[in-house]
Structure 1
Amino acid sequence: MSADIATSDPWTVRAALRCAAWAERWFPDAWVFAALGVVLVAAAALATGASPKATVEAFGSGFWSLIPFTMQMAFVVIGGYVLASAPPVARMIERLARWPRSGRGAVTFVALASMLTSLLSWGFSLVFSGLLVRALAKRTGLAMDYRAAGAAAYLGLGSVWAMGLSSSAAQLQANPASMPPGLLEITGVLPFTQTIFLWQSLALTAVLIAVSAALAWWTAPGAAQARTAADFADARLEAQAPPASRTRPGEWLEFSPLLTVLLSLLAFGWLGYRFASAPWAQVIADLNTYNLLFLSLGLLLHGRPRGFLDAVNRAVPGTAGVLVQFPLYGVIATVLTQVPGADGQTLAHRLSELFVRVATQDSFAPVIGAYSAVLGFFVPSGGGKWIIEAPYVMEAANALRVHLGWTVQIYNAAEALPNLINPFWMLPLLGVLGLKARDIVGFTFVQFVVHVPLVLLMLWLFGLTLDYVPPVAP
């Protein structure tokens, strides 16, 4: 690969190609990456005095701890694919794919689409962006690097998703009924105006979108160095098969809209009730509601059960990585948070004490941001680990008189950073594209190198503009 790097290319392209070449040679399969994480965390627990019995028990219990979430993530892939492959949506994606005029422009277009849609829903962003890449890859003469486009499709999860309505931390803090009682006493209620809608938060998000899109443009290989989808044996660009026709009397329900109409009435009746009973942003943040919405829309737009089932069959192979790897991440999270060492403290608590102990009011933002990013590398949670971190992080914020809403945004901005190099959230997208983590991580690593200092710097600078506000009781 390095031989294909032309000295006339911009240094950003050369850097991205070298990172991609290194990753393709040395980056392990995502399952191996997760397995190594389990071994390292278990070794660290034993080194701090944890008993072998507690460690192996955590392995067994943690292995199955993410089964509901694993199924939810599998349905993110299935539901997103079913909806995006429905004839009306597929036609819209095909029309969008006609806009870019160059391979580099196509990569940048995907990056913007990924980031903007992730502010509404990270799950939709993954699948929609992946299918947009596939539609672009089918265009002859575009010379779009399939790896760079795949990395661009991942930028929503790697940059700004938690700064928008997808933020489970901001959602939790704005809804007192969902908060653990102990946390409510520490933080009070923090509405969106104190978290994701702060002008500082909006400015940080805008800067990240602009920088990420610029990097996507600058690092996308030109036509001479581009590796298209044809260079990847598992790239899934198959044309959608024409609708099947009924051949047996017993198939009439499969080709009739009757079941579609009846199931849609039930599903959309329940969804209507849910959206009427709570704010829409809170409702759509629930993965079960989100998945049912996408499946129901997909069924309705396919029109007949046969078309819906054919789309599901095409989507299922993309869930393989999710099914075999997420249990290992459950082990990592369980060992970190539930296995006590010789002094009774868990690894997660030790990490928190280490970072919180060295923080001051001025250094709080970069220190806690770095801590959340490090922990997020081992416990990728989609925001869920905020429940674990929030009590001691927000206690520290109160003690140091740091703006509580901005503390939530420190977590949100830092939460995305490890996603750029951890394959955990890449899996649904990789399943859609037929790529391996090693194929795109070289490009996302360049984004990571730029994002880390930029995010920590902005968290510190914007934090200086905010005054401490004591917790407000509900």
Structure 2
Amino acid sequence: MKVLTSFFDRLVQRYLPDAFLFAIILTIFVFLLGVFFTNSGPMEMVTHWGNGFWDLLAFGMQMSLVVVTGYILASTPVVKRFLVKLSSLAKTPGQAVMLVTFVALVACLINYGFGLVVGALFAVHVAKRVPTVVYRILVASAYSGMLIWHGGFSGSVPLLIATPGHFLEDTMGLIPVVDTLFSPFNIFIVVTLLITLPIFNRYLLKGADPLRTTNASLWKDESKEAENATVVQPTTPAERLENSQVLSVLIGLMGLIFVGYHFVTNGFDLNINIVNFIFLFLGIILHRTPRRFLDTVSDGVKNAGGIIVQFPFYAGIMGMMASSGLSEQISLWFVDFSTEYTLPLFTFISAGIVNIFVPSGGGQWAVQGPIMIQAALEIGADTAKTAMAVAWGDAWTNMIQPFWALPVLAIAGLKIRDIMGFCVMILMFSFIPIALGFLLF
């Protein structure tokens, strides 16, 4: 463990560029793959790239708001006190890593957007409580919660194929969540990761370089800042409105009433929009005045820059992968040597490879789902298990794909190279319980 962890950490620190440059290099790599291995010429690949470039605008806005609204809520006095109290459960670096991992896994099991924000924010508070912990491993542990999201309540693939009218309904019919999320193989994978991943991450501490953990912004004394802050009394009608608690309570209650209505009419539908909605309006209420809320928004927006710039590049990559047929070629190559028994496992591996280039669960299912489901029907494999294999493959290689790490890194104040060496180790370990889940059940 120590040798491997140290090796991958040094390798990544030396050779992995910034996340934005990673996206550019990946763009060029996919362009070359399309030119040499598909029927698309250079101009066609450029066209595929340009046509897909803006396809993630709505999703990019959602993820930007995940970071901003999460920061807003976490900056409220009430939430800060709760996170500080919860972080007090950790007394040693090993306990800190295990606690952050477990909290992030549970949070991502509920909802991936919620889990990303909670995991990152909790890592910051635990680092303050246990300053001797290797902060980079703490943040990698927070991000490792994303391993479990597609086996949880916000998994896009299992929820989609259980919804009437989904685009593959004529081929595979409706598959209820009892056959996917609550199946024996999925429960085995989820429970095994919940138990073993915190322990595994704790052992990553043995191979880390503690000298590369400093993040001075974390250690500032916020209580002294609050004491030294100058309180300015409002003197004009505009300033009184900006400092009015009544306005914050009124609009905040309006938002929370809608949240209640949403759950009453839709059940436990904790999608990314409603998570952002809850974070936003709880933040408005708990900051008490519009002025305090807006000051926090200004600070939180700074963390979303990487998402705003990089998501269009990943949309362009996805456009090249889908339109050129590269995704289909990768999928079919694994299908060629699969059997009824091994198809789910090889589907999982192929989905992991495709996810590096198409890092979106819904987008990947649209590209890869029809191929794998048709193959499952032709050779008599379990379609529910095959669909979940695509989902778990998508979640698995998130560990080495900066796309989903951007919100976590923005909140934690780190770069992708700071955590990726540890994430490689998490990737290799997690392959074991996921593969066993598809082979044993």
TM-score, normalised with respect to structure 2? 0.93
The equivalent residue for 1:28 is: 17
> Identity, % of aligned pairs?
31
Q: SS of 1:65's equivalent?
A: coil
Q: For 1:368 and 1:457, how far apart are their aligned partners in 2?
A: 14
Structure 1 counterpart of 2:316, from 309, 331, 348: 331
The equivalent residue for 1:348 is: 327
Contact 2:344 2:389 in 1 (8 A): yes
TM-aligned CA deviation for residue 378 of structure 1: 0.8
Contact 2:73 2:282 in 1 (8 A): yes
Structure 2 counterpart of 1:120, from 89, 110, 124: 110
- For the structure 1 residues 53 and 153, does the alpha-carbon distance in structure 2 shift closer, same or farther, using more than 3 Å as the test? same
1:243-282 matched pairs, under 5 angstroms:
245-249=232-236, 250-280=238-268
TM-aligned CA deviation for residue 39 of structure 1: 0.5
The equivalent residue for 1:465 is: none
Contact 2:104 2:145 in 1 (8 A): yes
Q: For 2:188 and 2:242, how far apart are their aligned partners in 1?
A: 51
The equivalent residue for 1:84 is: 74
Structure 2 counterpart of 1:168, from 145, 152, 156: 156
Q: What amino acid does structure 1 have at the position aligned with 2:402?
A: P
Does residue 432 of structure 1 match 2:403? no
Contact 1:119 1:164 in 2 (8 A): yes
Contact 2:67 2:407 in 1 (8 A): yes
Contact 1:359 1:367 in 2 (8 A): yes
Q: What amino acid does structure 1 have at the position aligned with 2:55?
A: S
TM-aligned CA deviation for residue 234 of structure 1: 6.3
More deviation, 269-278/397-406? 269-278
1:4-403 matched pairs, under 5 angstroms:
12-47=1-36, 48-139=38-129, 142-157=131-146, 159-177=147-165, 179-180=166-167, 183-221=168-206, 226-227=210-211, 229=213, 231-232=214-215, 239=222, 242=226, 245-249=232-236, 250-280=238-268, 283-285=269-271, 287-339=272-324, 346-403=325-382
Q: SS of 1:89's equivalent?
A: helix
Q: For 1:245 and 1:388, how far apart are their aligned partners in 2?
A: 56
- For the structure 1 residues 50 and 96, does the alpha-carbon distance in structure 2 shift closer, same or farther, using more than 3 Å as the test? same
TM-aligned CA deviation for residue 61 of structure 1: 2.2
Q: For 1:458 and 1:173, how far apart are their aligned partners in 2?
A: 20
Q: Deviations over 1:89-134 (max 9, x none)?
A: 1110000111111012101111111111110011111111111111
TM-aligned CA deviation for residue 233 of structure 1: 5.4
Which residues of structure 2 form unaligned runs of 5+? Answer: none
Q: For 1:129 and 1:168, how far apart are their aligned partners in 2?
A: 20
Structure 2 counterpart of 1:457, from 420, 436, 439: 436
TM-aligned CA deviation for residue 310 of structure 1: 2.0
Say how many residue pairs are matched: 435
Q: For 1:108 and 1:277, how far apart are their aligned partners in 2?
A: 37
Q: SS of 1:457's equivalent?
A: helix
TM-aligned CA deviation for residue 26 of structure 1: 1.3
TM-aligned CA deviation for residue 368 of structure 1: 0.6
TM-aligned CA deviation for residue 227 of structure 1: 4.2
Q: SS of 1:220's equivalent?
A: helix
Contact 1:167 1:383 in 2 (8 A): no
Q: For 1:238 and 1:299, how far apart are their aligned partners in 2?
A: 24
More deviation, 51-60/198-207? 51-60
Q: SS of 1:165's equivalent?
A: coil
Which residues of structure 1 form unaligned runs of 5+? Answer: 1-11, 340-345, 463-474
TM-aligned CA deviation for residue 198 of structure 1: 1.1
TM-aligned CA deviation for residue 206 of structure 1: 1.0
Q: SS of 1:28's equivalent?
A: coil
Q: Deviations over 1:269-310 (max 9, x none)?
A: 333332222222xx312x222211211111122222122212
Contact 2:49 2:319 in 1 (8 A): yes
Q: For 1:107 and 1:361, how far apart are their aligned partners in 2?
A: 40
Q: For 2:299 and 2:2, how far apart are their aligned partners in 1?
A: 34
Q: What amino acid does structure 2 have at the position aligned with 1:43?
A: L
Q: For 1:172 and 1:42, how far apart are their aligned partners in 2?
A: 30
Q: What amino acid does structure 1 have at the position aligned with 2:366?
A: I
Contact 2:157 2:361 in 1 (8 A): no
TM-score, normalised with respect to structure 1? 0.87
- For the structure 1 residues 320 and 146, does the alpha-carbon distance in structure 2 shift closer, same or farther, using more than 3 Å as the test? same
TM-aligned CA deviation for residue 16 of structure 1: 1.7
The equivalent residue for 2:394 is: 415
Contact 1:254 1:304 in 2 (8 A): yes
Contact 2:345 2:435 in 1 (8 A): yes
- For the structure 1 residues 63 and 225, does the alpha-carbon distance in structure 2 shift closer, same or farther, using more than 3 Å as the test? closer
Q: SS of 1:119's equivalent?
A: helix
Contact 1:246 1:255 in 2 (8 A): no
Q: SS of 2:241's equivalent?
A: coil
TM-aligned CA deviation for residue 187 of structure 1: 1.7
Contact 1:143 1:228 in 2 (8 A): no
Q: For 1:38 and 1:149, how far apart are their aligned partners in 2?
A: 30
The equivalent residue for 1:342 is: none
Q: SS of 1:387's equivalent?
A: helix
Contact 2:35 2:41 in 1 (8 A): yes
